[in-house]
Structure 1
Amino acid sequence: MSLAPFVQILGRGQGRARSMTRDEAEAAMTAMLAEGAAPEAVGAILMLMRMKGETADEIAGFAAAAHAALPPWSGTRPALDWPSYAAGRTRGLPWFLLAARLVADAGVPVLLHGWNSHQGTRASVRAALPVLGLRPAECMAEAAWHLGTDGIAYLPLETMAPGVMALLRLRDTLGLRSCVNTVCRMLNPGGAPAAVQGVFHPPYRELQADAGMHLGLDRLSVLKGGGGEFEHHPGKEIALFGLREGRPWTGAAPQVLDAHRRLADAPSDPAALGAIWRGDLRDEFAEAIVLSTAALALDAAGIDAPGRTAQALWQDRARNLVA
């Protein structure tokens, strides 16, 4: 299918250009993922959307088409979808991984999926996985198996959706972020009924919440988190946007510490993740990041008394993280 009609919709000029409908966006993404899609047209669509600003209908249409192109999911389904696509070169360690582990320990299967352009740094999500006794799944079926056995899985974008990965990597060619970063957060490969999402730029909170409603999510929490991840700074009250029972919802992540610190001021050695989990290292700030983030994720998953539940899980956690 030619991409020219979609370029025309977006680029006709002042007073004539418009946003795509959801159906048009779904058709456009289907065509962009098809073999032989003209790279010039793909780049034009992504950059025209960046210039005008994407709509929730466009994000929902793109995400629906990208999801439809994924291999079918079989086996244990996640209860909570947890995307991780932030660049976050200046952020600290991925403490949210410990929070995700706590949520899984509550009996809520958690599917982490993502790609991070800073994978070579010490703050890399991929680098931290072995410390937590986790490893990337090599296919969708393996991710479902991990969920069934461990309650948590990490699925790399390049494994589940190489076509979407190619679109994301166009940033290296175009020099600019595109809406594909947002689409990846909405992929929900396992069809979880609830999700948590982080953003770096505040306007995306409402955009992603609206897109999630169009995609039929039941529960969703979106916050401006550390480096763009779903990670709460415990020294700040942070606004939340999302869905409850499929309807728009807003809330607030409360301040739990009187701490004027950056997330990057927590311990920076990746080994600290495992040390704090085992109790070999104590750091009030790092532990507060984990517990406050876990409480927000438990709330998104519909768990009662999420704060007390997170505290209880932390006190009773199995200290050995070796898978």
Structure 2
Amino acid sequence: MDIAIKKAVSGQHLNQDEAEAAIGDIMTGNASDPKIASFLTAMHMKGETTEEITAFARKIRSFATTLEKTPQKPLIDTCGTGGDGANTFNISTASAIVTAGTRINVVKHGNRSVSSRCGSADVLEELGIPLSLTKTQSENILNKIGMVFLYAPEFHSAMKHAMTARKEVGFKTFFNIIGPLTNPAKADRQLLGVFSPKLTTKIAEVLQNLEIERALVVHGNGLDEITVTGTTLISELKNNKIETYKITPKEIGLKKHPHETIKGGNTKTNAKILKKILKGQKNGKRDIVLANAGAAIYLSDKANSIQEGVEIAKNTIDSGAAMKKLNELREASQNA
């Protein structure tokens, strides 16, 4: 850890062995909170490279409890970094449920709120879905209904060693980026939202290094989501190549909406919003869910474009299949 701190403070990048050793010290509890905070601060000031983030993610994955008995791929995760400060509702969670309603296997990885008022775990718990599921229970649920929520602390117990320092530094660190890169089910498809447009290409490169088959890394007009409030920047990983482009709501068959129409609230409010969307309420909140579910459906090879995926997502909500999937997830998780 000392070597890594000294190099980062002086502006030097870490090689793979140095990056993995530093994270290993954190994950095993061998680094003090002040040293972890120093390391996080130094890395933040220097700026993390693709190679460093890749090494961090690989090492953290090695400490995780992973699912082994999973359905046939593709397995998709819709998980963002958070930290955009936009106070939206739980868009990626709603999108995951709609996507699973199309019979695509979804392994939604998430946590309680860090930067927002309500994280994916908070809203799902409010909807009656228990969080503390074992590896075997999670495998059984996924194989039974084609969707499961993986509560990060249950699968990444070693991450607890970094929590105090993360809270003390008070700014976004590489741990905000690492979470979505460490899905315990080893999802091979990812719709991954990032809090800065500067990160889309870099994180797509990390996913390429981690041998993810397909991914869309997105930043939409200040959101770590595909947005309906303006333009979305996308770095797409496909066939081991990365292409970066922009899309507008109109290009994927949706209307543009003001930011106020997609805002959320506390946990109870967001749970009500999610249920209204799944029951067919039509507004800006529905449209931003359609945009992201459409992208996930496209990633899963069930649509030839995001726009085609949006149409499938509309039918999934309007037919009741999305609400049915939420009910299945609740029942299977409660009876696991």
TM-score range, shorter chain: 0.7 to 0.9
Asked if 1:317 corresponds to 2:335, the answer is no
Asked if 1:242 corresponds to 2:243, the answer is no
What is the deviation of 1:118? 4.9
Structure with the bigger percentage of helix? 2
What is the deviation of 1:58? 0.4
Structure 1 residue matching 2:13: 3-state secondary structure? coil
Could you say if the C-alpha distance between residues 288 and 211 of structure 1 is closer, same or farther in structure 2, counting changes exceeding 3 Å? same
Instruction: Say whether the 8 Å CA contact 2:109–2:149 is kept in structure 1.
Output: yes
- Taking the TM superposition and a 5 Å limit, the aligned residue runs for 1:7-46 are 7-11=5-9, 13=10, 17-46=11-40
User: TM-score, normalised on structure 2?
Assistant: 0.83
Q: Which residue of 2 aligns with 1:140?
A: 135
Instruction: Say whether the 8 Å CA contact 2:33–2:164 is kept in structure 1.
Output: no
What is the deviation of 1:88? 5.3
Q: Which moved more, 1:259-268 or 1:312-321?
A: 259-268
Could you say if the C-alpha distance between residues 168 and 111 of structure 1 is closer, same or farther in structure 2, counting changes exceeding 3 Å? farther
What is the deviation of 1:263? 4.8
What is the deviation of 1:167? 1.7
Q: In 2, distance between residues paired with 1:277 and 1:131?
A: 16
Q: In 2, distance between residues paired with 1:244 and 1:290?
A: 23
Q: Pick from 3, 8, 18: which aligns with 1:5?
A: 3
Please list the CA deviations of residues 216-247 of structure 1 after superposition, one character each: whole Å capped at 9, or x if unmatched. 11111111148754x33224231201311222
Q: Which residue of 1 aligns with 2:92?
A: 96
Q: Which residue of 1 aligns with 2:213?
A: 218
Instruction: Say whether the 8 Å CA contact 1:219–1:243 is kept in structure 2.
Output: yes
Asked if 1:110 corresponds to 2:78, the answer is no
Please list the CA deviations of residues 240-283 of structure 1 after superposition, one character each: whole Å capped at 9, or x if unmatched. 0131122212233431213334354579833132133124xx23
Q: Which residue of 1 aligns with 2:334?
A: none
Q: Would you say how many aligned residue pairs link Structure 1 and Structure 2?
A: 313
Q: Which residue of 1 aligns with 2:174?
A: 179
Q: Which residue of 2 aligns with 1:258?
A: 256
Q: Pick from 32, 42, 45: which aligns with 1:48?
A: 42
Q: In 1, distance between residues paired with 2:192 and 2:219?
A: 9
Structure 2 residue matching 1:48: 3-state secondary structure? helix
Q: In 1, distance between residues paired with 2:54 and 2:235?
A: 17
Instruction: Say whether the 8 Å CA contact 2:107–2:185 is kept in structure 1.
Output: yes
Could you say if the C-alpha distance between residues 36 and 213 of structure 1 is closer, same or farther in structure 2, counting changes exceeding 3 Å? same
Structure 1 residue matching 2:65: 3-state secondary structure? coil
Could you say if the C-alpha distance between residues 57 and 263 of structure 1 is closer, same or farther in structure 2, counting changes exceeding 3 Å? farther
Q: Pick from 155, 159, 169: which aligns with 2:150?
A: 155
Q: In 1, distance between residues paired with 2:156 and 2:200?
A: 24
| Pairwise CA RMSD | 2.6
Could you say if the C-alpha distance between residues 55 and 267 of structure 1 is closer, same or farther in structure 2, counting changes exceeding 3 Å? closer
Amino acid at match of 2:8: L
What is the deviation of 1:89? 5.2
Please list the CA deviations of residues 285-314 of structure 1 after superposition, one character each: whole Å capped at 9, or x if unmatched. 122111111111112223224233223322
Q: In 2, distance between residues paired with 1:311 and 1:52?
A: 44
Q: In 2, distance between residues paired with 1:99 and 1:175?
A: 29
In structure 2, runs of 5+ residues without a counterpart are 331-336
In structure 1, runs of 5+ residues without a counterpart are none
Q: Which residue of 2 aligns with 1:300?
A: 299
Q: Which residue of 2 aligns with 1:284?
A: 283
What is the deviation of 1:73? 2.1
Structure with greater contact order relative to length (CA < 8 Å, sep ≥ 6):
2
User: TM-score, normalised on structure 1?
Assistant: 0.86
Q: Pick from 68, 79, 85: which aligns with 1:83?
A: 79
Q: Pick from 52, 59, 62: which aligns with 1:65?
A: 59
What is the deviation of 1:63? 0.3
